[in-house]
Amino acid sequence: MSETAFPAAYPPGLDILLTVEDAEWLRLLPDAADQIGAAIGAAARGAGLDAAYAGELGVTLSGDAAVRALNASWRAKDKPTNILSFPLVQIAPGDSPPPMLGDLVLARETLEREAIADGKRLTDHFRHLLVHGMLHLLGHDHEEALAAERMERLEVAILSTLAIADPYADSEALAGADPAS
């Protein structure tokens, strides 16, 4: 396991602590730290996070087995999923987030399978999931139809700033995403 502390420039005031539990991530995405910084920064700006915000976020690059165990423990779903979001405090969209936002945990094998099955670039799918997870930490969800529509529109707008095509254009839902991830 390795840890990397990001400079405050990703985005200003937000420290991202990266933990790599599965070294295969670094083979697949040698620039993972840069991709995380770009995606999280775009999500923070797109969701209207105050530029003066100072806080911390954890990102863990893990594998299916670890994510499956977390999913079983925390959500009673005994299966891996692409990303899990663990907000430290539940907030509503637009609320001021706490200094400790929470954690995002990604499963490498699931992310790879989805990208291949959907014909997506791995980096695009990776950044999409990070944006999706960050929006959950900032209070967005897709439990109800109207909230899901708002979250999807915001997600697509944020992804466009990263030159990522609308991932929902050909499907009704994020491939493989769990509604409460």
What is the domain extent for residue 41?
Answer: 2-161
Q: Is 0.85 surpassed by the pTM of this model?
A: yes
172 within some domain:
no
Q: Which residues of 91-122 are buried (b: 16+ CB within 10 A; e: fewer)?
A: beeeeebeeebbbbbbbbbbbbbbbeeeebee
CATH code, domain carrying 138: 3.40.390.30
pLDDT at 1 over 80: no
179 within some domain:
no
45 within some domain:
yes
pLDDT, tens digit (0-9, with 9 covering 90-100), for 133-153: 999 999 999 888 898 899 999
Confidence of residue 53 (pLDDT cuts 50, 70, 90): confident
Q: Prior bond to 30 cis, omega within 30? A: no
171 within some domain:
no
Domains identified in the chain, total number: 1
What pLDDT score was predicted for residue 143? 83
143 within some domain:
yes
pLDDT at 4 over 70: no
149 within some domain:
yes
